Amino acid sequence: MSLKKAIIRSIVVVLIATASVAVGFLIENILDKIDRKNHPQDFSQYVSMYSKAYGVPEYIVYAVIKTESGFDSSTVSSAGAIGLMQIMPETFKWLTTLLGDSYETGMLYDPETNIKYGTYYLSYLYGIYARWSTVYAAYNAGPSVVTRWLEDKTYSKDGINLDTIPYPETEAFVSRVERAADTYLRLYYKD
């Protein structure tokens, strides 16, 4: 093989390697943009304010909002949960009592009010369970139900972690929130 052919072959190999790296970065950038579009940070001023106030990481609040309502403040579930963080009216009334407030249920459509009480509720549940996956289960199924599961060896070997979630809807909810939280953490909160 001549020197000229060897040089040309080397240049082609370098160009192919460079193009491969560039395409890899381009694909990673495109996927990152898609993830960011699918995982917005809407209502950031309220999420930031109430995350700090109640000690709940922002990425968790965003994950719950994304999972519960897809950032649609007018959402009402078939069970009657309202707003961004899908708070049940009875839970809202109880939370307003805990915080010494008196709001009407219709205020749950207001993003700030919904985020305030949803974040406070996450904080309250974390104070009881100290495990985010258990908090998500309680947020969905209710704390009395989750406490019963934790006391039952069928669902929890140690009384702290849920080994099995018997409600398929709650199991799916916990999984979706965990995936969303991981994505928010990766996209916006990792250095």
Q: What's the token pair of residue 189?
A: 């909160």
Closest by CA to 59, choosing from 68, 48, 70, is: 48
CB-based contacts of 30: which residues, under 8 Å, 6+ apart?
Answer: none
Q: Along the 191 residues of the chain, how does pLDDT read in single tens digits?
A: 687 877 888 787 776 777 666 666 767 777 778 888 999 999 999 999 999 999 999 999 999 999 999 999 999 999 999 999 999 999 999 999 999 998 899 999 999 999 999 999 999 999 999 999 999 999 999 999 999 999 999 999 999 999 999 999 999 999 999 999 999 999 999 86
Is residue 87 a contact partner of residue 118, using CB atoms and an 8 Å limit? yes
Positions marked catalytic: 68
CA distance 39 to 156: 32
> Taken in order 187, 50, 129, 38, is the CA torsion positive or negative?
negative
**The Cα angle at residue 98 between residues 96 and 76, in degrees rounded to 5:** 35
Rounded CA separation 123/97 (Å): 16
